Amino acid sequence: GWLVLGNWQFLDSARQRRKIVPWSEAGLHPTDVEETDYLLSWSRGGTGFRYVTMIDEAATVVLAASANLDIVHQFRSDGRERNLNLYTIFAPKR
């Protein structure tokens, strides 16, 4: 079988990075979360936050190895910039 995973690359966009808010806005301290976790403002249809984690190419390699998967292909697409998602196709190691 195959696994296709999409990860939002929000840190690669100045527009998206502007939405990062301090953890204190949600009553949290940076030590309460992982280093790659972020809190982003959300203002569509109301006001709120998005709790997201950044999984980039390097993290994808680590995750694939820990799950005994091979990375078959990776590509970027989507968003205004047409590169805001990192798509990875995995297959079981042979």
Q: What is the pLDDT of residue 58?
A: 97
Cα–Cα–Cα angle for 39, 44, 46, rounded to 5 degrees: 85
**How confident is the model over 18-68, as pLDDT tens digits?**
999 999 999 999 999 999 999 999 987 778 999 999 999 999 999 999 999
Contact 4, 89 (CB under 8 A): yes
SS3 state at 55:
coil
Query: 50: domain range?
Result: 3-92
Structure tokens at 7: 């990860």
- Judge whether residue 81 has pLDDT over 80: yes
Q: What is the pLDDT of residue 39?
A: 98
Q: How large is the average pLDDT for residues 1-5?
A: 96
Q: Decide: residue 63, CB within 10 A, 0-12 exposed, 13-18 middle, 19+ buried.
A: middle
Number of domains in the chain: 1
Q: What is the pLDDT of residue 69?
A: 98
